[in-house]
A and B are shown apart, each in its own frame.
Chain A
Amino acid sequence: MNAPHPAGAWDTRRRGRQQRLERAAALGLARRVEAPRVGELLEAVIEPGDRVCLEGNNQKQADFLSETLADCSPERLHDLHMVQSVLALPSHVDLFERGIASKLDFSFSGPQGGRLARLVQDRQIEIGAIHTYLELFGRYFVDLTPNVCLIAAHAADAAGNLYTGPNTEDTPAIVEATAFKGGIVIAQVNELVDTLPRVDIPADWVDFYVVAPRPNYIEPLFTRDPAQITDVQVLMAMMALKGIYAEYGVKRLNHGIGFDTAAIELLLPTYATELGLKGKICTHWALNPHPTLIPAIESGCVESIHSFGSEVGMENYIPARSDVFFTGADGSMRSNRAFSQTAGLYACDMFIGSTLQMDLAGNSSTATLGRITGFGGAPNMGSDPHGRRHASPAWLKAGREAGGPNAIRGRKLVVQMVETFREHMAPVFVEELDAWKLQESMGMELPPIMIYGDDVTHIVTEEGIANLLLCRTPEEREQAIRGVAGFTPVGMARDRQMVEQLRQRGVIRRAEDLGIDPRRANRDLLAARSIKDLVRWSGGLYAPPARFRNW
């Protein structure tokens, strides 16, 4: 039998850590490192082949540390294995182009998806796997534990305690995995202060910190301008509210970040309240602080929101609504992606989001040819957790629709909301997802499917709602999907007789079946029709970023 450790040596990681710290000390580098010397620090404490977690969140980015790492010498630092949730910045990809890093395990790549695909094809990068957030965080504590992590916080005090502010996001999960397994934690902060508003990360988990030359980059990822919501989206939102939210009494939920679900948020104080649903739906959320939820909060529709991260412009609004948001004694929000994802997986009864493509089994994907974008948290939210044991009316009703009155478990509602055509008349409903071609061209082990069809319970399009829980055969499921696929080639190829039968059984419900007058599907039904309306609803507390202001 092979012993995993050399005889008598049980502390190689701790001693390795000590050697790294000694190399830094030999260069005269103390806990507080001056920005121009951070490159030296990284070359001293990182070793070739190390697993490095570069904190790239959805929003907050350790951009100074990332750029400094990318500028390190590939002779000194090479073959790094990057383990990070989001690959968002150009410098994240530069690491691979410059030969500093060679392997990547990640969750989401967003705007860098095209460059990432080219690197894979040119064999300049090896992708371990594309994960969901929770899956990657889990692996930080199992087999992808970082040797070094490079994180971002808002402020540090002289001792090295960190204040992450509202954008705590991934920081606790990363630091915990690194600091307690012999790793090195390096933080960039925007400012050094005498007394922190609160301590988010204690100093003895932090080895080095640097005041970055400029504040870390934060992307306003969750701001949707109500002015861009269309009448068709209002119609779909009305159908979703009446046909799903009301029917199941969905109180605990997560929304995607698209305009379709923003429309629902903006109908809560108007249409949903008119239907008598206030207090009966949408009271508890795992959600980023979406500005489009402000009117619902102000109208008393929302009791509680736990957030993955924050949102630019919501800094003053959130502390003023501390009954709703999770805030510290200092007043500002504490977000936490790992906990909020867990909430979305286990403690929510519904996920509703959008996708770029869906096939006839209900599998959906946002992958398109030539881009590797990943999934982020959608597969966590958009899956039925078999580990769930507590009941709720929505969960039980869904479970019984699928498994009959004696079902031994409930079902999470996983709703996909899409218009049948995207821009340039690209059909959302397709015979085969691009994900399969992408798998082939990239040599992946699995096609990058975001939400598996067997997890999807409902599909909402402008053509109506398909309830897949009520489908009893794969053929029924296929026709239910074709039946709401409208005038896409997939929709036109439907079996009209079977679709009509499904409609009679309530598997497919159109707007008229739900008693929705199309004349009301109008932007006038939105509680806010512009960013300025959101500012008004907030009593001036919401301060939108400049790019969303036209006044």
Chain B
Amino acid sequence: MEKLEFRFPAQPATPAAGAALCGVVGSGNLEILIRPGDEADACVVSVKTSARGFGRIWEAVIAEFAARHAAGGTRIAINDMGATPAVVSLRLGQALGEYTGGVQ
């Protein structure tokens, strides 16, 4: 198990729900919980992952997510069981979609 923490600037999100949960903790998959954060223009992410040594890729995936989406003002918790970057990006997009009610 590895724990990673990231914080990236991002355009503020417009929440439509108090929180959004997406995905499941299963092999090759992950669970993402989005809740309101303390800083309107930052996306703060904590990752617990079963696969060690992929910190750089996590950082790149989350940086790209924050750059492409209005995801500011959020705290995102991730429980990962070896998901590929493709699955991580998709689930982040899906979770944010739930959180904002489709507005991105």
Q: How many residues of B contact A (CB 8 A)?
A: 18
Alpha-carbon distance A49/B29, docked complex (angstroms):
56
Question: Can you list 16 residue pairs at the A/B interface with Cβ under 8 Å?
Answer: A231-B87, A232-B84, A232-B86, A420-B84, A421-B84, A421-B85, A425-B54, A486-B85, A486-B89, A487-B57, A518-B90, A518-B93, A519-B93, A519-B98, A521-B90, A521-B94
Question: Which residue of B60, B84, B98 contacts A419 across the interface (Cβ within 8 Å)?
Answer: B84
Q: What is the interface of chain B mostly: helix, strand, loop, or mixed?
A: helix
Whether the pair B102, A517 counts as a contact (CB closer than 8 A) is yes
Number of A-B pairs, beta carbon distance below 8 Å: 49
CB-based contact B86/A421 at 8 Å: yes
Q: How far is the CA of A230 from the CA of B28 in the complex (A)?
A: 10
CB pair B90 A517 closer than 8 Å: no
Kindly list chain B residues whose C-beta atoms are within 8 Å of the C-beta of A511: 93
Fill in one digit per residue for A387-422: 1 if any B CB lies within 8 Å of its CB, else 0.
Answer: 000000000000000000000000000000001110
Chain A residues, Cβ within 8 Å of B61: 487
In the complex, which of the residues A420, A486, A518 has the most CB atoms of chain B within 10 Å of its own CB atom? Answer: A518
Cα A462 to Cα B98 with chains together (Å): 20
Chain B min CB distance to A513 (Å) = 11
The answer to whether A420 and B93 touch across the interface, beta carbons within 8 angstroms, is no
A435 at the interface (CB under 8 A from B): no
A492 at the interface (CB under 8 A from B): yes
Query: Are A232 and B94 closer than 8 Å at their CB atoms?
Result: no
List the A residue with the shortest CB-CB distance to B97.
Answer: A519
Give the interface size bracket for A toward B: 20 to 34
Q: What distance in Å separates the Cβ of A41 from its nearest Cβ neighbour in chain B?
A: 53
Interfacial residues, chain B to chain A (CB-CB below 8 A): 54, 57, 60-61, 64, 68, 84-87, 89-90, 93-94, 97-98, 102, 104
Residue A77 interfacial (CB < 8 Å): no
Chain B residues closer than 8 Å to A521, beta-carbon distance: 90, 94
Q: A487-B57, A487-B61, A492-B60 are in contact. Are A519 and B102 (CB under 8 A)?
A: yes
A499-530 at interface with B (beta carbon < 8 Å) = 510-512, 517-519, 521
- Asked whether B85 lies within 8 Å of A487 as measured between CB atoms, the reply is yes
A510 to chain B: closest residue by CB: B68
- Chain A residues within CB distance 8 Å of chain B: 230-232, 235, 419-421, 425, 461-463, 486-487, 492, 510-512, 517-519, 521
Q: Choose one: A421, A463, A518; the contact of B94 (CB below 8 Å).
A: A518
- Chain B min CB distance to A271 (Å): 16
A419 x B90 contact (CB < 8 A): no
Q: How far is the CB of B89 from chain A (nearest CB, A)?
A: 7
User: Do B90 and A462 touch (CB < 8 A)?
Assistant: yes
In the bound assembly, the distance between CA atoms of A231 and B89 in angstroms comes to 12
A230: chain B residues within 8 A (beta carbon)? 87
* Inter-subunit contact A420/B104 (CB<8 Å): no
Contact of B104 among A463, A486, A487, A512 (CB under 8 A): A512
A493 shortest CB reach to chain B, Å: 11
In contact, A519 and B94 (Cβ under 8 angstroms): yes
Complex CA–CA separation, A421 to B93 (angstroms): 19
Given contacts A463-B89, A492-B60, 8 further A-B contacts (CB under 8 A): A232-B87, A421-B84, A421-B85, A462-B86, A510-B68, A518-B90, A518-B94, A518-B97
A463 to B89, CA, bound (A): 9
Contacts of A487 in B (CB 8 A): 57, 60-61, 64, 85
Measured in the bound complex, the distance between the Cα atoms of B57 and A510 in whole Å is 20
- Min distance, Cβ A525 to any Cβ of chain B, angstroms: 13
Of chain B, the residue at the smallest CB distance from A419 is B86
B-side contacts of A461, CB under 8 Å = 86
In the assembled complex, the Cα of A419 lies from the Cα of B64 at a distance in Å of 17
| Distance A5 CA – B86 CA, assembled complex (angstroms) | 64
Bound CA span A431–B70, Å: 33
CA–CA, A404 and B18, complex, Å? 51
A355 CA / B90 CA spacing, docked (Å): 22
Min CB–CB distance B96 → chain A (angstroms): 8
- Roughly how many angstroms separate A231 CA and B84 CA in the complex, as a whole number? 12
Residues from chain B with Cβ under 8 Å of A421 in the complex:
84-86
Which residue of the partner chain, among A231, A420, A425, A512, contacts B90 with CB atoms under 8 Å? A231
7 pairs of A and B residues whose beta carbons are closest in the complex: A518-B93, A462-B86, A487-B85, A519-B97, A232-B86, A518-B94, A421-B84
